[in-house]
Amino acid sequence: MPRALQWDIFCRVIDNHGDLGVCWRLSRDLASRGQRVRLWVDEPRALSWMAPQGAPGVQLRPWQEAETLTEAPQPATQVMVEAFGCELPAAFVAATVQAQRGRPGHAPAPAWINLEYLSAEPYVERNHALPSPVLLGPAAGWTKHFFYPGFTPRTGGLLREADLLTRQASFDAPAWLVSQGVAAEAHTVQASLFCYEPAALPGLLTHWRQAGHHGRPVNLLVTAGRAWGAVQACGLPLNEGLLRIHPLPYLSQLEFDHLLWACDINLVRGEDSLVRALWAGKPLVWQLYPQDDGAHEDKLRAFLDLSTLPPCAQAWQAAWNPVQTPGATALPVPYPDAQAWAHWQAQALDLRDRLLAQDDLASQLIGFVDKSG
């Protein structure tokens, strides 16, 4: 059994919800495995809807407090995690070093993890778990380690709670849809939308309005925030032709999973919702966080290479993540026919099965720091 350790996870919210979404999910997952977690966040407001109940074993602390510490918080930290390259507050590091030197004997330095962004690109396997000596400041001589989430056994894996499969097995999709005010007739196709502002969105909505999903009506469940803003900007009636559009309130992370499990296709964005959609095992379309240097294109290609999706699914992905050229017209979404759809569904289940066979991120992290301690 790995030791129960005191973790300090640091999260800066840059924009959107992914930074906090991942850090919260990791904190909760570690705590559910017997670890103690302090989560330091500079902007925690989104937790009021993402995690309204909090989680046993996770203590939320304001980042600002860590910037003015003069004494290390107790119990003493044993693992420090800087998420997505956020630098640990200097006062926290200084106080931690001072406390460690003040302890009798040779108290080990805490493990120091730099948790990176998720990608399927080859550099992830090369860089995963590499050490990086700290050269300057009070912690000079200590060592950080890079920890890369990923999709192969030679990476840090994906966040996957120990009870995920049990929760999925007892989930009642029609009852959940009804609880959201959505009709759950068997012939209707349910689709979820969590996106930025994809240029191809109006074309997709028009397709569904006119042709549905192979002639079947489509319920589009639209998440709160930017996705709903993007749908409103299309200026379509909520209920016309074969498309019915349902705006959702902000959901907790647990309910967000339910949304993805209840749908036949999930359009997701960013990092955390991608992983959740993978566990849902349904066809998914991923909108990547767009980067000015076009780096998201390589990231998308590497992700698509994990499966053999039908060409129209790949073309949909390309239309959903166009090269950023000002004034370019939106690519149409090539809608899969019945055969391509069945192929896409099978690929989604196959990728889920392969990923389920790998160790998850929280247990890999626990094993890593336990071994190095």
The catalytic site residues sit at 19, 271
Q: H helices of the chain, where?
A: 18-32, 47-50, 63-66, 90-102, 123-127, 164-169, 173-179, 201-211, 226-233, 253-262, 272-280, 295-304, 311-320, 338-356, 361-372
144 closest CA partner among 304, 328, 10? 10
Work out whether 14 is an interface residue with ligand TRH (CB under 6 A): yes
Burial group, residue 310, by CB count within 10 angstroms (0-12, 13-18, 19+): buried
23 closest CA partner among 56, 2, 50? 50
Q: Which of residues 160-189 bind ligand TRH (CB under 6 A)?
A: none
Phi, then psi, of 161 in degrees rounded to 5: -65, 150
240 in helix, strand or coil? Answer: strand
Q: How would you classify residue 98: left for phi > 0, otherwise alpha for psi between -120 and 50, otherwise beta?
A: alpha
Work out whether 18 is an interface residue with ligand TRH (CB under 6 A): yes
Q: Smallest gap, in angstroms, from Cβ of residue 279 to ligand TRH? A: 12
Dihedral sign for Cα 39, 45, 47, 53, please: positive
Work out whether 42 is an interface residue with ligand TRH (CB under 6 A): no
Among the candidate windows 107-115, 248-256, 308-316, 341-349, which touches ligand TRH by CB under 6 A?
Answer: 248-256
Work out whether 251 is an interface residue with ligand TRH (CB under 6 A): yes
Work out whether 192 is an interface residue with ligand TRH (CB under 6 A): no
- Which of 60, 173, 224, 304 binds ligand TRH (CB under 6 A)? It is 224
Q: Smallest gap, in angstroms, from Cβ of residue 165 to ligand TRH? A: 19
- Which of 173, 180, 247, 289 binds ligand TRH (CB under 6 A)? It is 289
11 closest CA partner among 23, 27, 26? 23
Residues 85-124, one symbol each (x = binds ligand TRH by CB under 6 A, - = not), give --------------------------------x-------
Among the candidate windows 65-73, 164-172, 182-190, 268-276, which touches ligand TRH by CB under 6 A?
Answer: 268-276
Question: Nearer to ligand TRH by C-beta: 15 or 163?
Answer: 15
| Rg over CA atoms, the chain | 22
Tokens 């046993």 map to which residue?
56
- Which of 7, 40, 92, 194 binds ligand TRH (CB under 6 A)? It is 194
Q: Smallest gap, in angstroms, from Cβ of residue 347 to ligand TRH? A: 21
Residue nearest to ligand TRH (CB): 18
Work out whether 151 is an interface residue with ligand TRH (CB under 6 A): no
Work out whether 16 is an interface residue with ligand TRH (CB under 6 A): yes
Return the bridge partners of 7, or none. Answer: 37, 79
Work out whether 272 is an interface residue with ligand TRH (CB under 6 A): yes
Q: How far apart are the first and last CA of the chain?
A: 14
256 closest CA partner among 195, 194, 178, 188? 194
Among the candidate windows 17-25, 100-108, 133-141, 349-357, which touches ligand TRH by CB under 6 A?
Answer: 17-25
Question: Nearer to ligand TRH by C-beta: 160 or 343?
Answer: 160
**Rounded to an integer, what distance in angstroms lies between the CA atom of residue 311 and that of residue 305?**
12
Question: Nearer to ligand TRH by C-beta: 17 or 282?
Answer: 17
Work out whether 19 is an interface residue with ligand TRH (CB under 6 A): yes
Q: Which residues of the chain form contacts with ligand TRH (CB under 6 A)?
A: 14-19, 21, 50, 117, 194, 223-225, 250-251, 253, 256, 269-273, 289
